[in-house]
């Protein structure tokens, strides 16, 4: 490792992104090589997904994971995709220790499986499925500041070669989307309210206005419309906490699908600018 890894929030969007990756998929495919070239290959990935929710944090410490098809009503081809990745059971005690030091009780189980919020982007980020993955299920009823505190407890992992990734969607109101299976999901113009919400997050992040970001529900434009429930946004705060509040969150990819499904990718931490520069220098 050349320095502490940045932490990431990846908008995984619809499961259909695995079949029609579009601009977001292209961005994902550049993330892995940029991370490896700039910081070295991560020893493991700690993944916090909008689709792994529990009443208490749980670490899934299986020796091996397979893709979970936690969705329905999509083309058969989607159910044929695989992502069989090694687990990271030896990392689980370290994460449990870090959480305990912050007063957060967690459980470790030997169960495995990666929900689509994890395997959809990882198929592009690390397509060889050769980086061990440790999923962390989390409590979606806790507020943004509490999610940030969960992430802050994980901050030492960045200096230990572990890539912390939160996955969800920067905007996520499926009722605003006409359909998921369109072959051209990027063709529909983005709604103004979706763009306004995403722009607000970029501006408040650049200003490191954490008070506003924690209170996004009342301060961000169209917050309740973009997130009728906010489990798809809260992993952003976990990743932000793991990166720390002394560096501005950086949006390193900006796109949307179906007119209202934001696919933004953010990097956090002091090394985030190095990742952003590496991505910009790629052809």
- Domains, the chain, with CATH or none: 7-281 (3.40.830.10)
Position 22 confidence tier, pLDDT thresholds 50, 70, 90: confident
Is pLDDT larger for residue 28 or for residue 283?
Answer: 28
pLDDT for 268 equals 98
Least confident of 12-16, 111-115, 258-262, 277-281: 12-16
Q: What is the per-residue pLDDT across 63-109, written as a single tens digit (0 to 9) for each?
A: 999 999 988 878 899 999 999 999 999 999 999 999 999 999 999 99
Mean pLDDT of 148-159: 98
Q: What is the per-residue pLDDT across 213-260, written as a single tens digit (0 to 9) for each?
A: 999 999 999 999 999 999 999 999 999 999 998 899 999 999 998 889
Own/partner long-range contacts of 194-200 (Cβ < 8 Å, ≥24 apart): 194/222, 194/226, 194/256, 194/259, 194/260, 194/262, 195/256, 196/221, 196/222, 197/170, 197/171, 197/221, 197/222, 197/223, 197/226, 197/262, 198/170, 198/171, 198/254, 198/256, 198/262, 198/264
pLDDT score of 175 more than 70: yes
Buried b (16+ CB within 10 A) or exposed e, 55-81: eebbbbbbeebebbeeeeebeeebeee
Return the percentage of the chain with pLDDT > 90, whole number. 84
pLDDT score of 283 more than 90: no
pLDDT score of 179 more than 80: no
pLDDT score of 120 more than 90: yes
Position 177 confidence tier, pLDDT thresholds 50, 70, 90: confident
pLDDT score of 1 more than 60: no
pLDDT score of 186 more than 90: no
Position 156 confidence tier, pLDDT thresholds 50, 70, 90: very high
pLDDT for 107 equals 97
Mean pLDDT of 191-213: 97
pLDDT score of 183 more than 70: no
pLDDT for 51 equals 95
């Amino acid at each position: 490792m050349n320095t502490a890894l940045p932490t990431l929030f990846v908008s995984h969007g619809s499961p259909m992104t695995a079949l029609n990756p579009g601009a977001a998929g292209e961005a994902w495919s550049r993330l892995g090589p940029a991370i490896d070239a700039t910081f070295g290959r991560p020893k493991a990935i700690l993944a916090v997904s909008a689709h792994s929710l529990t009443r208490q944090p749980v670490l899934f410490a299986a020796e091996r994971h397979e893709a979970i098809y936690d969705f329905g009503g999509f083309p058969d081809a989607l159910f044929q995709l695989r992502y069989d990745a090694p687990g990271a059971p030896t990392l689980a005690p370290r994460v449990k220790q870090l959480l305990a030091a912050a007063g957060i009780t967690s459980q470790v189980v030997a169960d495995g499986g990666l929900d689509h919020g994890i395997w959809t982007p990882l198929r592009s980020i690390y397509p060889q499925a050769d980086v061990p993955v440790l999923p962390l299920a989390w409590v979606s009823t806790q507020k943004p500041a509490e999610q940030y505190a969960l992430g802050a407890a994980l901050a030492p992992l960045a200096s230990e070669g572990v890539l912390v990734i939160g996955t969800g969607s920067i905007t996520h109101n499926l009722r605003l989307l006409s359909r998921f299976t369109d072959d051209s999901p990027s063709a529909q113009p983005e709604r103004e309210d979706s763009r306004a919400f995403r722009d607000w997050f970029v501006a408040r992040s650049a200003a490191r206005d954490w008070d506003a970001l924690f209170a996004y529900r009342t301060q961000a434009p169209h917050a309740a419309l973009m997130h009728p429930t906010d489990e798809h946004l809260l992993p952003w705060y976990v990743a932000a906490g793991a990166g720390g509040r002394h560096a501005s969150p950086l949006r390193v990819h900006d796109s949307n699908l179906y007119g209202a499904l934001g696919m933004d990718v953010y990097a956090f931490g002091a090394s985030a600018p190095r990742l952003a520069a590496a991505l910009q220098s790629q052809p």
